[in-house]
Amino acid sequence: MSAVHAGIDVSAKSVELVLRQNDRRFGRETFAQTPEGHRQLERRLRTARPQHVVLEATGVYYVDLAVTLAHAGLPVSVINPRSFHHFAKLKLQGSKTDGIDAELLAEYGERMAPLPWTPPDPSRLALRDLGRQINRLTATRTQAKNRLHALRARRGSLELLIRDEVEAIATLDRRIERLTQAARDLLHQQPELAEQAQHLEAAKGVAQASAIAVLAQLCVLPASLKTSQVARHAGLDVCLRQSGTSVNGVSRISKAGNAYLRAALYMPALSAVRHDPYVRAFYEALQRRGKRKIQALCAVMRKLLTGFWACLKTSQPFDSAKLFSDVHFAKT
C-alpha cells in the first residue's frame, strides 16, 4: 500500500485537513483553530500515519499547530507560500478554497517530498513574537503621529482630538518600551542570541532596536538556509519581467515573503547609505547604472541581509568591508 500524505490549510478560525493516497483524496476534516482542535488533529494524524504533513508558512496561525505536530513526532514540512503558489499554477488550479488548498498541499507532499521542519526553541519563538508586536505598534504609532500632524496643521481642529492623539501616542510609546525591555531581558537570558544581536549592532546604522527587529525574524529560520533562500524568505528576491521581445518590464522584488523582516531592514539600509562609505558607494554605483533610488535601496537591503545572515552563521561581527567591493570607490 502506498504512503499517506496530509495537507493542512490553516485559517484564523479553522484548520482543514485532507489525506491523500494512491493519487486520490480519501479523507477531509475540519478542526477548530484552538489548542483542543490541534490535539484532535494530532490524534487523527497519528491514526493516519502520513509520510508528509504539509503546511504553508502564511500568517501567524500555522506556527503553534506546526510546533504541536512536530513535538508529537509527526513528519511536518512547512513550505514557502511562493513555492506552493507556483505548484498550484503548474496544476492549473484557479479556484481557491480551504479544501482545495489542503488537497493541493497533500499532493505537494506526495510529488515534491519536502524536507522536514525543525521547530525553533521557545525563546526564539518568543523573541520573534515580541519583534512582530513591536513592529505592529510602531506602525500604529506612525499613523497616529501623521494624524496628529494633520490635526495641528488644520485650522479649527478640536483641542480634544489633538489631546486624544497625544495620549494615544504616549500610550503606544509605553507599550513599545515595555515590549522592547522584554526583548532585552530575553536576550540577557539567552547568551547565544545576545551575542548574535551584538554582531548585528556592529553594522553602521543598526542600533539595538533594529538589531532586535532583524534578529527576531532571522533567529527562527533553519541554519541550513542559503543566503538566496533567506532573500526569498524576506521577499527581496528580484522578479524579472521579460519574455522574448514583447515584454521587457521593470524588475521588482517579489514581496512574497516575510514583511516584518523587510520592514526591519528598511531603516538600517537608509542609515547605512548615509553613514557607511562602502554601502554609500554601492548605492551610488547602482544609481549611476540607471537604477532608481528605491531599487538601489532594495539592493542594499538584500546585501545587508546577506551580511546579517553570514554573521549569525559564522558568529562574527558585521563588517561591510567584507560584503561590499572596493571597486565602487574608484568611480565615485
Interval 130-182: pLDDT, tens? 999 999 999 999 999 999 999 999 999 999 999 999 999 999 999 999 999 99
**From CA 162, how far away is CA 155, in angstroms rounded?**
12
Query: 317, 202 in Cβ contact below 8 A?
Result: yes
DSSP 251-308: -EE---S-HHHHHHHHHHHHHHHHH-HHHHHHHHHHHHTT--HHHHHHHHHHHHHHHH
C-alpha cell at 177: 518600551
The number of C-alpha atoms within 13 Å of 208 and in the hemisphere containing its C-beta is 9
Contacts of 72 (CB under 8 A, 6+ apart): 42, 45, 46
Asked if residue 248 has pLDDT above 50, the reply is no
Q: What is the pTM of this model?
A: 0.75
- Would you state the pLDDT for residue 274? 95
What is 5-112's CATH superfamily?
Ribonuclease H-like superfamily/Ribonuclease H (3.30.420.10)
3-state helix, strand, coil in the chain (%, to 5): 60, 10, 25
Average pLDDT over the chain, rounded to an integer? 89
Task: Give the residue extent of every domain in the chain.
Answer: 5-112, 122-189, 215-331
The mean per-residue pLDDT over the stretch 248-263 comes to: 69
